[in-house]
Amino acid sequence: MKKRHRIISSLSLSLLLAGTVLSGCAQNDQSNAQSSGQPKDTGSSQQKEQKATEPVPIRWVRAANEQDPQKDRILLELQKRTNTKIEIVSIPSDQFANKINLMMASGETFDIATVDPGKTLNEWAKNGLILSYDDYLKSGKYPHINAIVNSEVYKGFKIDGKSYYKPLGLAPMQWGWVIRTDWLENLGLSMPTTLEEFYNVAKAFKEKDPDKNGKADTYGVYTRASGMSDPSITQLGQFISRAHAVAGRTDNWVAQPDGSITRYEVSQNAKDSAAFFRKLVKEDLINKDWLSLKPDGAQGPESDDFGAGKYGIAATTKPDLFLQKAKSVNPNAKIAYLPPLKGMNGVPANLGHSGGFWRGNIIPKTSKNPEKALELIEYTLTKEGRELTLFGINGTHFTGVKEEGGKRIFTVNKAEADKDWDTKKNGYLYPLAWGAMNYFEYAYIPIKESNFNYDEAFKKLQPWIPTEMAEGAFTDWFATNAKYTMAPPLMNVFDDKLLGDQTKLRSTFGEGWLKAIMGDDFEGAWAELQKKWLAAGGQDVITYGQELYKKNK
């Protein structure tokens, strides 16, 4: 899974204004040409019909493209189905920000670009260099696009109340939790559903010999925090904080009982969450070396320890690996998905929200065929279009599909896939499955099936996987995670005043949080943390954010 970046490259106002002037001149010339009278009808009806059915050129700008629309059979099929002739303007990733800015400022003609949100995007919109989706959505011809840009999770992208940006839907949380259910059975315990039950289980896993080997050699939970400027956002830290506030964590906003919002860092939720984490640390219910261990994507050592029966609750992206290692030591070992906990004071079980996007599509003012560009984007969001851009052509790149347990399982024709893309680099998932009009690996978001409610569709995503992925015990892992996604207030609002100095704010909170967790005076350390965080710019961020929320509520 590629990581999301932001294009925050600077573009001088003079260049932006130049782009606006150039674009304006082009419009004036067009208006003058039209006002001089309609062209004479000199063509035959046959010529008109032929012209009307000719493929419409679509010039699409994106970073690091590898697929050739003149040779790639999937892109050829996409063009056939949408009656388009696609030209992909590929720019190296490290040059993309500067080159797309120059293209926009110079008024170069293209129809779609896949870009990042942020300050530059806001400038393009305010200087009239990109088109608003809203004017085209009124026709009702693009219901998938309409559902996305007007969803709750993406409404923060609107600029002055208008939609200029269609995010590429991103898979939900890859991280989830597993628990040794055989240990629960040995101790006569149930799956924990609340913070209190989670604490009791972790304590029992340490103190009551859950593996029945007669030794005091186990503990509850594993986590890692070394190298993190803010150790409060370990997987364990977030698991706990979300039980105190929806999407509770550093950088996020949380709702207050009176209907207002504030930053998580200064909320009572954050303090209560820290106190709970501190209790786990002080009672040795987590691994003692958690502060010296850096996060490890491969999860080798922690899966080894889980398999060896040293602890019973783990955060992972590789649940089948953890099960495999546990069974290699104890064939009777059993593990299961541990859902997020029901929260304090009525907070629902939630996994927060990743923000759900990686880059997005814009339509520049210079586009010659904006409606056709929208038709192309719309098609890729349909079930038929998603199938094509995920696994290829039915009967060629895959030879069969079966529905099983809420999943669609594809039999991939590897020999044919090898002909159209670099499968050694990308595997047998078509490269434009991510980073084109979608960014969902191995899944379909059922927007139409959810009455064009994107937020609900996101929670009901359907795994679309090759046969190899259908063999594990946790084949619906990220789909299960998706059910618990909930967005915080002011998500995806890219405003410098709202964000503040993120690096400074994060490190200030992280240092104070750790002092409160590890020290002897929790109350004193927390009070000191609050003063320092507010003085580091937090108070200005809160004041601005609360006013913005009231204005746009």
Kindly report the number of other CB atoms within 10 A of residue 32's CB atom: 9
- State whether residue 61 is helix, strand or coil: strand
Q: Which two tokens stand for residue 153?
A: 């999770």
The candidate with the shortest Cα–Cα distance to 386, out of 348, 438, 350, is 438
What secondary structure letter does DSSP report for 393? -
- State whether residue 261 is helix, strand or coil: strand
- Alpha-carbon distance of 89 to 63, in angstroms, equals 8
Query: What type of residue is 470?
Result: A
- Alpha-carbon distance of 113 to 529, in angstroms, equals 43
Cβ atoms of 443 and 386 within 8 Å: the answer is no
Answer positive or negative: Cα dihedral of 292, 296, 299, 304: negative
pLDDT tens, residue order, the chain (553 aa): 433 333 333 333 333 333 333 333 334 333 333 333 333 343 444 445 546 689 999 999 999 888 999 999 999 999 999 999 999 999 999 999 999 999 999 999 999 999 999 889 999 999 999 999 999 999 999 999 999 999 999 999 999 999 999 998 776 667 899 999 999 999 999 999 999 999 999 999 999 999 999 999 999 999 999 888 899 999 999 999 999 999 999 999 999 999 999 999 999 999 999 999 999 999 999 999 999 988 777 788 899 999 999 999 999 989 999 999 999 999 999 999 999 999 888 999 999 887 778 889 999 999 999 999 999 999 999 999 999 999 999 999 999 999 998 899 999 999 999 999 988 888 888 988 877 777 677 889 999 999 999 999 989 989 999 998 888 889 888 889 889 989 899 998 988 899 999 999 999 999 999 999 999 999 999 999 999 999 999 999 999 999 999 988 7
Provide the whole-model pTM. Answer: 0.79
- Alpha-carbon distance of 205 to 187, in angstroms, equals 9
Kindly report the number of other CB atoms within 10 A of residue 83's CB atom: 14
Strand residue runs (E) in 68-222: 84-91, 112-115, 166-169, 176-180, 219-221
Backbone angles phi, psi at 327, to 5 degrees: -70, -25
Beta bridge partners of residue 411, listed in sequence order: 400
- Alpha-carbon distance of 118 to 121, in angstroms, equals 5
